[in-house]
Amino acid sequence: MDRLEKIIKNILEFREERDWEQFHNPKDLAISLNLEASELLEHFQWKSDEEIEEYIAENKDSISQELADILYWVLLISHDLDIDIESAVQEKLKLNAKKYPVEKAKGKHTKYTDL
Amino acid sequence: MDRLEKIIKNILEFREERDWEQFHNPKDLAISLNLEASELLEHFQWKSDEEIEEYIAENKDSISQELADILYWVLLISHDLDIDIESAVQEKLKLNAKKYPVEKAKGKHTKYTDL
Amino acid sequence: MDRLEKIIKNILEFREERDWEQFHNPKDLAISLNLEASELLEHFQWKSDEEIEEYIAENKDSISQELADILYWVLLISHDLDIDIESAVQEKLKLNAKKYPVEKAKGKHTKYTDL
Amino acid sequence: MDRLEKIIKNILEFREERDWEQFHNPKDLAISLNLEASELLEHFQWKSDEEIEEYIAENKDSISQELADILYWVLLISHDLDIDIESAVQEKLKLNAKKYPVEKAKGKHTKYTDL
């Protein structure tokens, strides 16, 4: 079994063992995702680039946990909505490649509407 | 190559071709993640459970794209911070299993501090 | 002095006494606002409408504190960016009145682009 | 009538004329607040301090509108939950003054738990 499949399987087992699917509606799942994304952002607040670099070195574990939480919700939502997240990313990269063609977007951080 | 590795490889190639790594500091990456998480949540706002079900059936593509965007940032941030996201999720599941032991948490949606 | 002026005055004094203005750049202030908005949302997560009603009755103080935190940042940001927030709201209501004319928008919760 | 009272009155009239109160439950209102807070943050993303300063000078109107939107939701939620937002801020400033006493917090941007 490949790694992504295995993570998804483990996440679903974790939920199933606790019988939590009954609570998991899309709106509250998306709220969870937002709350965890906020917690990640909080790590980088009030810090300069140099302070962030140092902070990351010293707090890798807790930052990893926030990222894990976010991925947990992304994969649960995708599963519940019957979305193949791998195909979704590949499709999105194709769309973004059209929005941001290399020759126009290279080295520029301009929104595609302004390219 | 397994699926997760392949997605990460494609995402990094996408960025490299556009020479965008120079703009990608952790704070702004985490902001991106938050903005995309908001866009996902917006889909489910002002809707009852029944309306959400119907909405999802009719808007699967755009919801898939939001989830893809979120995963894109999760994987980029993990990469840039040198975090193995697969191990991070497996570690977090172990931690959560301790916080929420099956015998206490089954069928209950109570925060672990109140279990 | 009217109430809004008084709140703004008190907030600015609170900051000045602690000499915190040096840390307050717009990006981090906006992050603070987002973090507090998340904390408010967390109160209403995983709850049905009935549960929320009951929850609010029992947790009015902590919800009030979240709203106060949000207003604190709104007023600080407005002050620092030299924005008269009262005029801003009055202007926005005029704009919204054009986007959502009563005869079209009454009783409908449709985005203005779909009216 | 003082300014804060007048803003609240105008916001409530705007909603009443459109008969929108029926849609306004606390969870969706808090989501609105979060979405608008995200929109504010988006203005400051991918920009250095200098770029932000220049950006603000050129985009004051649209930033004012985001802040107005946020205040709109803060005041609506406060009203619907029967919270006197002015007292809430004054109470919160007192609490924060205890958490961050001037002699300890002056010139330091440390979380109160670490002071």
Please list the pLDDT of chain A residue by residue as tens digits (115 residues): 789 999 999 999 999 999 999 999 999 999 999 999 999 999 999 999 999 999 999 999 999 999 999 999 999 999 999 999 999 999 999 999 999 999 999 999 888 888 8
Q: What angle do CA C30, B67, A23 make, to 5 degrees?
A: 90
Let me know if A50 is exposed, middle or buried by CB neighbors in 10 A (0-12, 13-18, 19+): exposed
In 3-state terms, what secondary structure has residue C99?
helix
Kindly report the nearest CA distance between residue D79 and chain C, in angstroms.
11
Q: Which residues of A touch D34 (CB under 8 A)?
A: 34
Q: Which two tokens stand for residue B42?
A: 């917006």
Write down the domain spans for chain A.
3-104
pLDDT number for residue B114: 82
C49 touches chain B (CB under 8 A): no
Least CB-CB distance to D34: which of A27, A34, A46?
A34
**Number of residue pairs across A and D with CB atoms under 8 Å?**
5
Q: Which residues of C touch B46 (CB under 8 A)?
A: 109
Q: Which two tokens stand for residue C108?
A: 């409908």
How far is CA D88 from each of CA A15, C64, D91, rounded to the nearest angstrom?
Answer: 39, 6, 5
pLDDT digits (tens, 9 = 90+) for D14-38: 999 999 999 999 999 999 999 999 9
Nearest alpha carbon to residue A109 among B83, D59, B40, D51: D51
Q: Which residues of D touch A34 (CB under 8 A)?
A: 34
Confidence of residue D109 (pLDDT cuts 50, 70, 90): confident
Q: Which residues of C touch A26 (CB under 8 A)?
A: none
pLDDT number for residue D22: 95
Q: Which residues of A touch B5 (CB under 8 A)?
A: 3
Question: Rounded to a whole number, what is the distance in angstroms from the first to the last CA of chain A?
Answer: 42
Q: Which residues of D touch B38 (CB under 8 A)?
A: 34-35, 38
CB contact under 8 Å between A109 and D34, yes or no, is no
pLDDT at residue B59 tops 90: yes
pLDDT number for residue C1: 76
What chain A residue is nearest to C35 in terms of C-alpha separation? A38
- Residue spans of beta strands (DSSP E) within chain B: none
pLDDT number for residue C92: 98
DSSP A46: T
D51 touches chain B (CB under 8 A): no
Predicted TM-score of the model (pTM): 0.96
CB contact under 8 Å between B45 and D31, yes or no, is yes
**Number of residue pairs across B and C with CB atoms under 8 Å?**
5
CB A7 within 8 A of CB A86: no
Please provide the CATH number assigned to the domain covering C3-104: 1.10.287.1080
pLDDT number for residue C68: 98
ipTM over 0.90: yes
Kindly report the nearest CA distance between residue B40 and chain D, in angstroms.
10
Taking only Cα atoms into account, the Rg of chain D, rounded to an integer number of angstroms, comes to: 18
> Could you tell me which chains touch chain C, where touching means 3 or more CB pairs under 8 A?
A, B, D
Q: Is the dihedral of CA C47, C48, C53, C58 positive or negative?
A: negative
Confidence of residue D110 (pLDDT cuts 50, 70, 90): confident
All residue ranges of chain C with pLDDT < 70 are none
Least CB-CB distance to C34: which of A32, A38, A46?
A38
pLDDT number for residue B82: 98
In 3-state terms, what secondary structure has residue B83?
coil
pLDDT number for residue C111: 82
Q: Which residues of D touch A55 (CB under 8 A)?
A: none
CB contact under 8 Å between B109 and C31, yes or no, is no
Least CB-CB distance to A109: which of D31, D34, D46?
D46
pLDDT at residue D1 tops 80: no
